Amino acid sequence: MSNFAKPENALKRAEELINVGQKQDALQSLHDLITSKRYRAWQKPLERIMFKYVELCVDLRKGRFAKDGLIQYRIICQQVNVSSLEEVIKHFMHLSTEKAEQARTQAQALEEALDVDDLEADKRPEDLMLSYVSGEKGKDRSDREVVTPWFKFLWETYRTVLEILRNNSKLEALYAMTAHRAFQFCKQYKRTTEFRRLCEIIRNHLANLNKYRDQRDRPDLSAPESLQLYLDTRFEQLKIATELELWQEAFRSVEDIHGLMCMVKKTPKASLMVVYYAKLTEIFWISASHLNHAYAWLKLFTLQKSFNKNLSQKDLQLIASSVVLAALSVAPYDQTRAASHLEFENEKERNLRMANLIGFNLEPKLDRGDVLSRSSLLSELVSKGVLSCATQEVKDLYHLLEHEFLPLNLAVKMQPLLAKISKVGGKLSSASSVPEVQLSQYVPALEKLGTLRLLQQVSQVYQTLKIECLSSMIPFYDFSVVEKIYVDAVKHNFIAMKVDHMKGVMLFGNLGLESDGLRDHLTNLAESLNEGRAMMYPPLKGASKLGEILPTLADTVDKEHKRLLARKSIIEKRKEEQERQLLEMEREEESRRLKLQKITEEAEQKRLASEYEQRKNQRILKEIEERELEEAQALLLEARSRKKGKKPLLEGEKVTKQSLMELALSEQLRERQEMEKKLLKLARTMDYLERAKREESAPLIEAAYQQRLVEERVLHERNQQLEVELSQQRHEGDLKEKNRLARMLENKMSFQERVLHRRQSEYDRRTAEREEQISQMIQARKHEREAKRKKIFYVRSEEERLRKLHEEEEAHKREEAERKRKEEAERRAKLDEIAEKQRQRERELEEKERLRKEALLGRPAELPRPAEPRPVEPAVAAPAAAAAAAAPAPGKYVPRFRRGGTEPAAQTPPDLDRRASRPDDRPPPSSDRWRSDERRPPTFGGSKSSWSSSRVPSRGSER
């Protein structure tokens, strides 16, 4: 640890180390100075040292060093100058917050830079590798590496400051400001875990404050300023808890506020109580505690009506409607009626706690059994005029649900009212602490209440009712939801009913005597008869004697009443105007003061900053050479003082700062080694001493152990003998008891026989009933199986019949298709035969025409020679060969029936016949002659005989 004659030297040393980049050494030197017992009196340089100290702690994120330094500085300046500690703490929190914001801004800038680094690539290669290795996104990784450490340090800063200021009466405002900033930190960054820890820390601080009342600087909660600061902190905690939706923590905050008020026994301001009950309404609504929610709304309505002068009629009407609907939303039966004794006691204790929270110092406390109930709440709404302030739809709904008896069309009349109510709501203009009021949130609870009322009234009129009829009467829910509602009502003995799903009806029972059920009907009938009688025979209005005596008294009273009301309204307006003017003046004065204070603070900050910069520059310019010179001189003196027994410095050797520092470091190392050797020797000596002590104490321990064994043996024998005596006494007592009870053995046996006989007869009876039921079930199942078999047989036979019918239709279709195919084949064969005959006739006609032409030209009639076989396809080779074989020799008469052939020429194509009819060795006629023959008109006979004679040559010509 370094020793400095003045604190300024330590500050200079720290700045020199900072300039050479050794911030950790600078922080350690300042820490040694602050924790040293030498500097226990406060002085101005210590404040500058603390500013530099907290700056180094923030830069290096050393929360433990910061906490130790602030604790030591609190001890130094607590009684002398506590404002200096306040300035240091504010500077510390400012630096931590600024660093956290810079880290968050840097992370955002880094993420944006990574996004726009390459416009063509989605991500850089190194980013892809990091994402695949770490499994994190770029933003998450940058937050974890850059933002998270600073946020942790900022959270540690808040905890440190709260711990230091928890029992300091002079810095209560700073404590409250730190708590508020910590709450805002949790709200801004959605830190729910840290918020719970913060609430627990503040709660423990208050508990310790009440536990240790003899502390010197303990805050006095009975003081109005201290109480207001603590209340503001708790109310801010309550607001943040509800905004973060931490409802359990919000309820604990409400309990903290209530406990604080009970501790000091003072009523807070009406504005704070409005926030208190507004948050209570939200908490109870989320927790489905509708009764407590309605009571909280009632207290909120009372506060707003009593203390809020700017409350408009529309806002008052909306709040009153919320109160009435919240009261109607409470279940009309007791939830703990069927509970056990332990549950009932727990619920009673819970109701007592809730009643204490809700009825906090506003009214005289009533009997808790009467306060927390739906009936007392509704009667209180009517008596206090809350119902008269509500909207007309809410009033109609209240009378419909609580006073009307309409079992058939209750839900139908409720539906348009609920539709109108669901559209009402909004933010209250004159009650800033009250959240947004939406009456639509009560519609589901009101629909459930309407369903319960309808079931209750129907159960008083009907004994059975069809399910379809009941479903048509309730348009809100399906019957499954109605069934859940009535099951819960039956469970709590609100109605007596059950459902027969097989018959599709609902069965209603009676909860009490018949006269109790008819009492309401008789009352309603009497009221209706009285109304009808009053309409038929209206009562005569008698003239007032006072009106005869003083005819103008009523007008005078009315005028005086109106004048008083007008005067009261004028006075109220004047008071409101005066209060408004006072508030405006105070607001303007406060704004002017704040503006002037802000200007002064800014000027002071600028002046301090300029002075600080000037001092810093002067210090840097003046002390650089002095620092080097002082260090060299100090090292030289230290080396000269230690040169005894060591190598003396040479006179002609050049002494430098580096050589002197190396010499000093080697000396420190040697001293450290000598100290380690001494410690090792001391440890060896301690080891020898401990071994010697244990060797001496071993026989003593053994002797004590043997003596302990002897004492325990004697004690065991004594206990054993005592146990034997007690056992003998118990045995004798048991024998006497047995002899005494032996007289009742016969009675016991007879009673046992009677019980066994009765139970045997009951068992036989139930066995017979069971066997009869089993036989009936067997017969029923047998009949069922028989019917099932018949049904299966009928289904299978029908399927078989349909299958056979389908097969027959398929066979008939196939036969019809085969028949059509055969007919088509026969028709085609006939057509082919007719075509072949036609071709044969055409060939004969061509042959005759050829012969006729040859006869006309004067050539001998030569019969065509068989043509030489040509290479033909295998399919037509056989018919061509048969035609060649059947051809007659030339110059020989061939009968006509021979020329036609015995076999039809249907197998030979017409082209082959034509080629075969003309011999290939005969030269074709010349083209000129062929043309002349074509131009010559043929001469045919008119009859068949002439046609044949012209075509067939005579015998003479053949010869």
Closest by CA position to 950, among listed 854, 852, 858, 825: 852
- Asked if 167 contacts 215 with a C-beta cutoff of 8 angstroms, the reply is yes
Helix (H) or strand (E) holding 737: helix 657-741
Is residue 631's pLDDT more than 60?
A: yes
What average pLDDT does the chain have?
77
The pLDDT-based confidence of 513 (bands split at 50, 70, 90) is: very low
- Cα separation, 910 vs 836, in Å, equals 9
Q: Supply the pLDDT for residue 700.
A: 92
Residue 915 has pLDDT above 80, yes or no: no
Q: What is the pLDDT of residue 789?
A: 94
Using CA atoms, how far apart are residues 74 and 82, in angstroms rounded to an integer? 8
Determine contact, residues 84/135, Cβ cutoff 8 Å. no
| 532 CB burial (10 A radius; 0-12, 13-18, 19+) | exposed
- CA angle, 58 then 63 then 68, to 5°: 115
Contact 851, 861 (CB under 8 A): yes
Which pLDDT value is given to residue 429? 67
Residue 97 identity: T
State the average pLDDT over residues 505-532. 71
User: What average pLDDT does the segment 703-719 reach?
Assistant: 93
Q: Give the CA radius of gyration of the chain.
A: 60
Read off the pLDDT band of 845 (50, 70, 90). very high
Residue 543 has pLDDT above 60, yes or no: no
What pLDDT, on the 0 to 100 scale, is given for residue 773?
94
Average pLDDT over residues 241-264: 84
**Six-digit token pair at 478?**
């399906």
Amino acid 718: pLDDT: 93
**CB under 8 Å to 364, separation ≥6 — which residues?**
none
Confidence band (pLDDT; 50, 70, 90) for 950? Answer: very low
Predicted local distance difference test score (pLDDT) of residue 866? 45
* Lowest-confidence pick of 86-100, 335-349, 623-637: 335-349
Please tell me whether residue 506 adopts helix, strand or coil conformation.
Answer: strand
pLDDT above 60: residue 873: no
Q: Is the pLDDT of residue 629 over 70?
A: no
Pick the range with the lowest mean pLDDT from 53-57, 59-63, 483-487, 642-646: 642-646
Q: What pLDDT score was predicted for residue 951? A: 42
- The DSSP bridge partners found for residue 497 are 508
CB 251 within 8 A of CB 409: no
Question: How confident is the model at residue 562, as a pLDDT?
Answer: 87
Contact indicator for 352, 368 with CB cutoff of 8 Å:
yes
Beta carbons of 61 and 149 less than 8 angstroms apart: yes
Mean pLDDT, residues 527-537 taken together: 85
Among the ranges given (281-290, 858-867, 939-948), the one the predictor scored with the smallest mean pLDDT: 939-948
Residue % of the chain over a pLDDT of 90 = 18
Q: 62-82: b or e for each residue (b if 16 or more CB lie within 10 Å)?
A: bbebbbbbbebbbebbbeebb
Sign of torsion, CA 919 924 929 935? Answer: positive
CA–CA gap between residue 869 and residue 860 (Å, rounded): 26
Q: What confidence score (pLDDT) does residue 433 get? A: 63
Question: Which position has the higher pLDDT, 164 or 652?
Answer: 164
Split at pLDDT 50, 70, 90, the class of 515 is: very low
Looking at residue 815, its pLDDT comes to 94
pLDDT in tens, 308-328: 777 778 888 888 888 889 888
Contact between 283 and 251 under an 8 Å Cβ cutoff? The reply is yes
Q: Give whole-number Cα distances, 953 to 239, 628, 959, in Å.
A: 139, 160, 10
Bridge partners (DSSP) of residue 465 are 506
Residue 261, pLDDT > 60, answer yes
pLDDT at 656: 56
Length of the chain measured in residues: 959
Most confident of 24-33, 105-114, 569-578, 751-760: 751-760
Q: How far apart are CA 238 and CA 562, in angstroms?
A: 46
8 A C-beta contact, residue 431 and residue 315: yes
pLDDT, position 831 = 94
Give the chain's end-to-end CA distance (angstroms, integer).
Answer: 166
Report the range of poorest mean pLDDT among 62-76, 557-571, 634-648.
634-648
CA distances from 267 to 296, 535, 749 (A): 17, 55, 76
Strands 464-466 vs 437-438: parallel, antiparallel or unpaired: unpaired
Query: What local confidence, expressed as pLDDT, does residue 784 receive?
Result: 94
**Does position 943 have pLDDT exceeding 60, yes or no?**
no
* Interatomic CA distance for residues 839 and 792, integer angstroms: 70
Q: Write down the pLDDT at residue 903.
A: 41
Q: Treating both helix axes as pointing N-terminal to C-terminal, what angle do 657-741 and 553-641 enclose, rounded to 10 degrees?
A: 130
Which of residues 875 and 9 earns the better pLDDT score? 9
**pLDDT at site 541:** 54
Q: Averaging pLDDT over each range in 395-404, 545-554, 794-803, 848-857, which range is the top one?
A: 794-803
CA distance 913 to 899: 13
CB atoms within 10 A of CB 407: 17
The pLDDT of residue 938: 44
User: Residues 141, 147, 152, 153: what is their CA dihedral angle, to the nearest 10 degrees?
Assistant: 140
Element holding 508 (H helix, E strand): strand 505-508
pLDDT at 709: 94
Quote the pLDDT of residue 632.
63
pLDDT at 370 (0 to 100): 46
| pLDDT band, residue 348 (cuts 50/70/90) | low
Predicted confidence (pLDDT) at residue 620 exceeds the cutoff of 70: yes
Please, where are the H alpha helices in 116-189? Answer: 125-134, 138-142, 148-164, 172-188
pLDDT of residue 463: 87
Residue 425 φ/ψ, nearest 5 degrees: 155, 175
Query: Which residue's entry shows tokens 């406390």?
Result: 365
Q: How confident is the model at residue 759 (pLDDT cuts 50, 70, 90)?
A: very high
d(CA 859, CA 929): 14
Confidence of residue 726 (pLDDT cuts 50, 70, 90): very high
**pLDDT higher than 50, residue 945:** no
* 749 pLDDT higher than 50: yes
Nearest to 68 by CA among 163, 4, 176: 163
For the ranges 302-311, 365-374, 593-602, 677-686, the one whose mean pLDDT is highest: 677-686
How far apart are the C-alpha atoms of 168 and 219, rounded to whole Å? 6
Task: For 191-235, write each residue's pLDDT tens digit.
Answer: 888 888 989 988 888 888 877 766 676 777 777 788 888 888 888
pLDDT at 474: 87
Q: How far apart are CA 504 and CA 465, in angstroms?
A: 9
pTM of the model: 0.50
Which band of pLDDT confidence, cut at 50, 70 and 90, is reported for residue 33?
confident
133-137, 403-407, 451-455, 824-828: least confidently modelled range: 133-137
Distance in angstroms (rounded) separating the CA atoms of residues 703 and 700: 5
For residues 702 and 788, what is the distance between their CA atoms, to the nearest angstrom?
92
- Share above pLDDT 70 across residues of the chain, in percent, rounded to a whole number: 74
Please give the Cα distance from 10 to 3 (Å, whole number). Answer: 9
CA angle, residues 399, 404, 405, in degrees to nearest 5 = 160
Whether residue 912 contacts residue 883, with contact meaning beta carbons closer than 8 Å, is answered with yes
Residue 645 has pLDDT above 50, yes or no: no
Q: What is the mean pLDDT of residues 59-70?
A: 86
Residue 859: partners with Cβ closer than 8 Å, 6 or more residues away:
none
